[in-house]
Structure 1
Amino acid sequence: MENLEEHTTIHIQVPVTGMTCAACALSVEKVLKKQEGVENCAVNFANETVQLTIDSDKTSIEKLQSKVQSVGYDLILPSDDTRTQVEAYKTQKHDSLKRSAIGSAILGIPVSILGMFFMNEPWVPWVSWILSTPVVFYFGKNFFFNAWKQALHGSANMDTLVAVSTGVAYFFSVFTTLFPEFWHHRGLHAHIYFEASAIVIVFVLIGKLLEENAKSNTSSAIKKLIGFQPKTVWLIVNGEEQQVPIDEVRVGDRVVVKPGERIAVDGKVLFGHSFVDESMISGEPIPVEKSKGTKVFSGTINQQGILKFLAEKVGSETLLSQIIKRVQEAQGSKAPIQKLVDKIASVFVPVVLGIAIVTFISWMVFDGTNAFSYALITSVSVLVIACPCALGLATPTAIMVGIGKAAEEGMLIKDAESLELAHRLDTIVLDKTGTLTEGKPSIKDSFGLEDSHIIDLFVSVEQASSHPLAQAIIPFLKEKNGKTQTLSHFENVVGKGVKAVLEESTYFLGSVKWMRELGIYQENQLYHHWQNLGYTTVFLANEKEILAGIALEDTIKPDAKKAISALQESGIEIVMLTGDNHKTAQKVALELGITQFKAEVLPSDKSKIVREFQQKGNVVGMVGDGINDSEALAQADVSIAMSKGSDVAMDVAKITLISDQLTKISEVINLSKRTQSIIQQNLFWAFIYNIIGIPIAAGVLFPINGFLMNPMLAGAAMAFSSVSVVTNSLRLKK
């Protein structure tokens, strides 16, 4: 907890226990939002978490836990073994539900049989009373406890509906069993509803058990990712290999991984040669060759030789841990459509209680024969059938499965909103270098590098530069025996180049455009030739003239053309942006079939271009990989980063393509379409179920065909609705 209190504002995801329906999630959210210091709060019923933004100067997780406990729920406080606690809680919850469902069924089914086939036997009410009592008040006790806690705070949830309906049916039946003459003197038959109260509990518990099983399948992606983490690791200590728990590994330790073992932490190979299966990260089935100096990542599988590597990232800092964290956060986030559903759910239970009361009164007023009996059975049926669980599960289960599926396919989606919005994209803006191209340009031509002084000067300035082109130019210059000298001044001029001072002389390194702005560009046939070929050019100049130049060409990614074609065929407009010159941009655009492109674009211009498209009413996606793309990524409706790009770009972007395959962009959009379709289907069935079910339960068919819904049937239908919504969401896995 210490690290949480270092900052005033903290963002944290905390597991919530004790929730049984969507209304429960709203109750928790309502309580938390009232607390001082809570800036933002979103409770997700499907994966039982709350995402909090709090001011740690005004409140703490412990204080919030206390408030949540007061309404019958709990928070699992962040700790080193939070995941273990959550798993233990879910296992205990599942086992408890299973015991209750089986126990209630063993006693409740005989009660139901007695009520259906032996209802006129004088001993049946007494036996039914004995059998139904433990079902209602032992196996179903949590419904009553939770409903009472909700009532104390002026709210209601699914437990309220179950407790009221079964409680009324049970106590009415007890009264009738003890005092049957009360009804006989009024010319009424003394009906009992022990079977209704018992079997409703049975069906609700079975429904919850099936729902819990189905929900556990929605988080299987997280379980698979966690399964990639080995529990132990071999360390070299004092020259000897020792096997230790993974928690004991520290940055700087020397780690050994043998053939067939999973790599435990991220690091750099010191010794050995092997091939590593990185498909869980990249999606590529072909193993990657590893030797001295190459990177290895947690969760990947060493296939052949022994590797010894230096641990660089451990624990929560490894790539695998970050992926797990982001997938968990994304699965806990709320899609925009869920906010509307939440508003509906917040008034749903009170409305249902009102409908049940109106139903009861209507039967009492308008039906003369057996009025009370019919009023009771219909109002109980309304309360039971109107479970808001299906409504609450409709969106989050689809989002959870969709985000989990994306993670398995090498697409890391950080929030639900991006998954919901992606299918609406009509314009995608792509950065060129590192996104459409490999970002590893090769040297094609040069001039002015005959003088060793110029070579030393060129390599010295490039060595200080952070520009991607420097990574290609420096090795080339060093092959010419270039030696680095100390610069007395260095300045990075954003989007143009660099300015440096060496031995009191000022030098400039940058593009043709900047050379023209500085007034030191001279017309040259070689320069024109480079431009006609579409090469990227870098010039070194002093304050009077250009001293040397290098021409480079970037390689287009193998899957770029296929990816662009797929997006264009789906009706999406493609726009390419680059800081390169017009000729280079044009050459890449023609090769990829892109008609819209802008060259010599500054980083700040990229976000302006995105904004311009948005102002026209377009839904814009931005795909980039560098720090210079971060502003545009933040501006876009849907932002996608390439995993081999900068950390800043990946932090800003809401979607990261772990495998760096551009064809994954179409897959994200298709997954978004499928997820949205599943959400709409879920909501349709959740709404239509209640729209049709509640009036039937209230008895609208009785004047037509004499049908009255038995509360037992209402309980079965309610359970089926929740399970069907979750099962429908699981279709996204296919």
Structure 2
Amino acid sequence: MNVPEATSPPGSAAEAVTLDVTGMTCAACQARVQRTLERTPGVASATVDLMLGRAAVRYDPAQLDPGRLIEVVERTGYGAAVPVPTADAVAEQAARDAALEAEARHLWHRALTALVAGAVAMVVSMPLMSRGPMTGVAMDPLMHGIMSWLDGPLRSALPWLYTVPLPVLSWGLLVLTVVVMGWAGRHFYVRAWTALRHRSADMNTLVALGTLSAFGWSAAVTMAPAWFLARGVAPDVYFEAVILIIAFVLLGNTFEARAKRRTASALRRLAGLQPRSARVLREGGLLDIPIEGVRRGDLVVVRPGERIPVDGEVREGASAVDEAMLTGEPVPAAKSVGSRVVGGTINTTGALTIEATTLGADSRLAQIVRLMRDAQSSRAPIQGLADRISGVFVPTVILLSILTFLAWWFLAPEGSGVRAVAAAIAVLIIACPCAMGLAVPTAVMVATGKGAELGILIKGGAALERAGEIDTIVLDKTGTVTAGKPTVLDVLVAPDAGWTSERVLQVAAAVERLSEHPLAGAVVREADRRGLAALGATGFASHGGRGATARVDGASVAVGNATMLREAAATSPTDVVPTEHPGATLVHVAHDGAWVGTVVVGDAIRESSRVAVDRLRRGALDVVLLTGDRASAAEAIGSAVGVGRVVAEVLPEGKVAEVRRLREAGAVVAMVGDGINDAPALAAADVGIAMGGGTDVALEAADIALLRDDLGGVADAVALSRRTMRTMHQNLFWAFAYNVVGIPIAAGVLYPAFGILLSPILASLAMAFSSVSVVGNSLRLKGWTP
């Protein structure tokens, strides 16, 4: 067997592989595959997703390999394979979508055939129901009313049908039923037999048992009606019920497959953003080539109104680019020479020449598609209850069906045989493990897709569930509450230092050129703007939460906050706070142990920050501003945006400690940062939310990544998570309540008081409706707005 190699997760002795699993139809199937994998020696963990037909497995390579794992799955009766990796995650998603559409179309053709055959069977059965002995003893009032209503018009339209001998009609129905069972319903019996061979049971088992029981009873009655009559048992046949059960179950599966495809519409939409060709400058001319032919470094020309085909950097031209489909931001972003652009976005106004930098599976669009697909197969903890019940559901239903048959056979006063068969079959058919298996995954799929439309990447069900429970939001200041684009407001010079503001800025820039901190960029940009010569620096060292040091022109230079200055200089300024810039950050400069000046840096507050904080507080959330900046600056920013509590002058490790302190006090905490400088605090929180504008680090650093630089996305993420949790609870309640109420009704508990015995036909309709209703409720999330 040619099996692609698995990948090894960084920092882990275990390896991980994803398998495509075929043949799963309900929660019991999923539970069996997962349970089998988890019990396999050498498997560290396994997560099986019914919706996507995937199994993510971590295993010990010393004991197992992907080929062995495939054999384990196949021994449970399902197909398995390692998907062949493609260079294009977008193309891979398009192929998955086409497979889902083909599945729904195939199911619809079989369901339509069975429905037509069922209609014919109902017509042919009318004379049997109206002329047969002991007519209607096992029929519920609704079905009896339907038959009575149809009998008159049918006698008028097809009078000859009522002259056909009853045995001929019965044998004709038997042949028609065999054809439908052998073609439209064949997969139910094949999969049920496979499950039986592996000592397990699933939804197919229930459908197969129910229809085979009805068929077996009807065939026996057709072949020996006198034997049943002699024993006081009505020789009623259920051929039309067998056909219609298959038809309605297939119809439900069709609607379910189409609904599943709709739940993946966000992925389909993202996959559709990728242009299939690009206009490339080669050999002195423009060539239209397939997107797969673009190479790194190619110059791609994009005209106004066209989609940008690749990630890259603008080399010529200026335009506004509509990035709403990726970030949810409605206002086009200005792009000029040096700006980075993302494939799949729309160039709106001017022509651009772009140098291709990232292609195929490494492109931003492919990363987002891959992250969303992984998120949609991630399981929410709340799913555990449904999984535990699904593991024993089918055997329990079979036992209840047997008990129902025995109770009716021995305890019912008249027509006990036919009633026993009808009730037992109805119990098997009405039971629906599918609804329990779909209750949570469908909500996760739709919610993560909706989040992507809003520029919010939610990494799976666990993140959704935790985000729906948070009660405290901790905000970093720089790049979160503020715009993250600091500028120099002023340069102060120490009295009697003999320095100029230009010299202070020049020396500070020499050190900051080697730093990645956002404030360092502001200092360097201001020095360049003033045309100051760049000085060389050696021995650079970064001191987290305080600043940086280096040697410049042979002297020791320290650049940073007041803590850094106290460590580097004998004296510390106490009166350099500029009253005209109360929210500014002070970057002190020490030269050979003496303070020589301070660079005053300001970072504008995002326009959306105050509105977003107000939304969070109105949502009963405590909002905390956590920053390493000086207290007065932090208080000024906090007051401007309406934050309830400010914690200032905190080092990176102090941010982690503050998050842990809040959690230990009983709070469920979300930490919001830029995904770069706040990674430890993001990891320490219950939910980490990265505002990175879609940077690679931000996409990987947190549970939730915002593709747009807007604090409003945090409020949207919390609101969406809470709405999704309500949907999950509604789905689970319906799935459990349906079975708790439906199975007893099918067993006949209403018969003694109301004379109602549910027919197998209506039981199959109810079962189909149960699954579709759960998926439909999840799909309502598509219309949710913040």
TM-score class, shorter-chain normalisation, is: over 0.9
Counterpart position of 1:25: 30
Distance (whole Å) between structure 2 residues aligned to residue 475 and residue 444 of structure 1: 12
Counterpart position of 1:274: 319
- State yes or no: 1:351 paired with 2:356: no
Which of 562, 566, 583 is the aligned partner of 1:516?
A: 566
Which range moves more in the overlay, 659-668 or 603-612?
A: 659-668
User: What SS does the aligned partner of 2:414 have?
Assistant: coil
Task: Encode CA deviations 1:377-436: one digit per residue, 9 max, x unaligned.
Answer: 111100000021111111111111111111111111111122122232211000000000
Which range moves more in the overlay, 259-268 or 532-541?
A: 532-541
2:312–2:341 contact (8 Å) kept in structure 1: yes
Task: Encode CA deviations 1:121-147: one digit per residue, 9 max, x unaligned.
Answer: 332211110111111222111111101
Which of 707, 718, 730 is the aligned partner of 1:669?
A: 718
Distance (whole Å) between structure 1 residues aligned to residue 399 and residue 566 of structure 2: 77
Distance (whole Å) between structure 2 residues aligned to residue 524 and residue 682 of structure 1: 61
User: What SS does the aligned partner of 1:469 have?
Assistant: helix
Which range moves more in the overlay, 553-562 or 50-59?
A: 50-59
Which range moves more in the overlay, 206-215 or 76-85?
A: 76-85
Which of 384, 407, 431 is the aligned partner of 2:476?
A: 431
- State yes or no: 1:338 paired with 2:338: no
User: What SS does the aligned partner of 1:16 have?
Assistant: strand
Counterpart amino acid of residue 728 in structure 1: N
- State yes or no: 1:474 paired with 2:524: yes
Task: Encode CA deviations 1:72-107: one digit per residue, 9 max, x unaligned.
Answer: 322352322644553343233222211211111122
2:8–2:16 contact (8 Å) kept in structure 1: no
Counterpart position of 2:439: 394
Counterpart amino acid of residue 91 in structure 1: E
User: What SS does the aligned partner of 2:320 have?
Assistant: strand
2:673–2:689 contact (8 Å) kept in structure 1: yes
Which of 40, 48, 70 is the aligned partner of 2:45?
A: 40
**Deviation at residue 627 of structure 1 after TM alignment:** 2.4
2:94–2:268 contact (8 Å) kept in structure 1: no
Counterpart position of 1:106: 116
Which range moves more in the overlay, 446-455 or 702-711?
A: 446-455
Which range moves more in the overlay, 191-200 or 329-338?
A: 191-200
- State yes or no: 1:725 paired with 2:735: no
Counterpart amino acid of residue 90 in structure 1: L
Counterpart amino acid of residue 483 in structure 2: E
Counterpart position of 1:681: 730
Match runs of 1:558-569 below 5 Å: 558-569=607-618
Counterpart amino acid of residue 496 in structure 1: R
Counterpart position of 2:513: 463
Distance (whole Å) between structure 1 residues aligned to residue 726 and residue 500 of structure 2: 64
**Deviation at residue 14 of structure 1 after TM alignment:** 4.2
**Deviation at residue 208 of structure 1 after TM alignment:** 0.6
Distance (whole Å) between structure 2 residues aligned to residue 456 and residue 604 of structure 1: 31
Distance (whole Å) between structure 1 residues aligned to residue 502 and residue 307 of structure 2: 49
TM-score by length of 1: 0.95
1:560–1:662 contact (8 Å) kept in structure 2: yes
Counterpart amino acid of residue 664 in structure 2: Q
**Deviation at residue 479 of structure 1 after TM alignment:** 3.6
Please provide the CA RMSD for this pair.
2.1
- The 1:536–1:5 alpha-carbon spacing in structure 2 relative to 1, beyond 3 Å, is closer
Distance (whole Å) between structure 2 residues aligned to residue 519 and residue 276 of structure 1: 49
2:234–2:417 contact (8 Å) kept in structure 1: no
Which range moves more in the overlay, 471-480 or 490-499?
A: 471-480
Counterpart position of 2:138: none
1:108–1:131 contact (8 Å) kept in structure 2: no
Distance (whole Å) between structure 2 residues aligned to residue 454 and residue 443 of structure 1: 13
**Deviation at residue 250 of structure 1 after TM alignment:** 2.6
1:258–1:307 contact (8 Å) kept in structure 2: yes
2:214–2:239 contact (8 Å) kept in structure 1: yes
User: What SS does the aligned partner of 2:518 have?
Assistant: coil
Counterpart amino acid of residue 259 in structure 2: A
Task: Encode CA deviations 1:608-665: one digit per residue, 9 max, x unaligned.
Answer: 1111111111111111004221111111112111123864344121111112221122
TM-score by length of 2: 0.89
User: What SS does the aligned partner of 1:328 have?
Assistant: helix
Counterpart position of 1:52: 57
Which of 638, 659, 662 is the aligned partner of 1:589?
A: 638
1:501–1:507 contact (8 Å) kept in structure 2: yes
- The 1:150–1:517 alpha-carbon spacing in structure 2 relative to 1, beyond 3 Å, is same
1:445–1:550 contact (8 Å) kept in structure 2: yes
Counterpart position of 1:78: 84
Distance (whole Å) between structure 2 residues aligned to residue 35 and residue 489 of structure 1: 54
Counterpart position of 2:280: 235
Counterpart position of 2:142: none
Gaps of 5+ in 1: none
Counterpart position of 1:132: 177
Distance (whole Å) between structure 2 residues aligned to residue 609 and residue 117 of structure 1: 79
- State yes or no: 1:487 paired with 2:493: no
Counterpart position of 1:96: 106
**Deviation at residue 5 of structure 1 after TM alignment:** 4.3
User: What SS does the aligned partner of 1:369 have?
Assistant: coil
User: What SS does the aligned partner of 1:123 have?
Assistant: helix
User: What SS does the aligned partner of 1:284 have?
Assistant: coil
Match runs of 1:97-246 below 5 Å: 97-119=107-129, 120=132, 121-246=166-291
Counterpart position of 2:588: 539
- The 1:288–1:570 alpha-carbon spacing in structure 2 relative to 1, beyond 3 Å, is same
Which range moves more in the overlay, 566-575 or 73-82?
A: 73-82
- State yes or no: 1:407 paired with 2:412: no
Gaps of 5+ in 2: 133-165, 494-498
Distance (whole Å) between structure 2 residues aligned to residue 116 and residue 539 of structure 1: 95
Counterpart amino acid of residue 77 in structure 2: G
2:311–2:343 contact (8 Å) kept in structure 1: yes
**Deviation at residue 314 of structure 1 after TM alignment:** 1.0
Which range moves more in the overlay, 135-144 or 21-30?
A: 21-30
Counterpart position of 2:163: none
User: What SS does the aligned partner of 2:289 have?
Assistant: strand
Which range moves more in the overlay, 382-391 or 476-485?
A: 476-485
Distance (whole Å) between structure 1 residues aligned to residue 270 and residue 694 of structure 2: 23
Distance (whole Å) between structure 1 residues aligned to residue 4 and residue 411 of structure 2: 66
Counterpart amino acid of residue 677 in structure 1: R
2:558–2:568 contact (8 Å) kept in structure 1: no
Counterpart amino acid of residue 716 in structure 1: L
Counterpart amino acid of residue 99 in structure 1: H
- The 1:229–1:523 alpha-carbon spacing in structure 2 relative to 1, beyond 3 Å, is closer
Distance (whole Å) between structure 2 residues aligned to residue 246 and residue 9 of structure 1: 36
Distance (whole Å) between structure 1 residues aligned to residue 195 and residue 759 of structure 2: 27
Match runs of 1:630-649 below 5 Å: 630-644=679-693, 647-649=696-698
- State yes or no: 1:361 paired with 2:411: no
- The 1:453–1:729 alpha-carbon spacing in structure 2 relative to 1, beyond 3 Å, is closer
**Deviation at residue 555 of structure 1 after TM alignment:** 0.6
Counterpart position of 2:597: 548
Which range moves more in the overlay, 278-287 or 291-300?
A: 278-287
Distance (whole Å) between structure 2 residues aligned to residue 723 and residue 624 of structure 1: 40
Which range moves more in the overlay, 4-13 or 504-513?
A: 4-13
User: What SS does the aligned partner of 1:52 have?
Assistant: strand
For these two proteins, the number of residue pairs brought into alignment is 733
Distance (whole Å) between structure 2 residues aligned to residue 505 and residue 462 of structure 1: 15
- State yes or no: 1:506 paired with 2:556: yes
Counterpart amino acid of residue 368 in structure 2: I
- State yes or no: 1:571 paired with 2:620: yes
Counterpart amino acid of residue 662 in structure 1: L
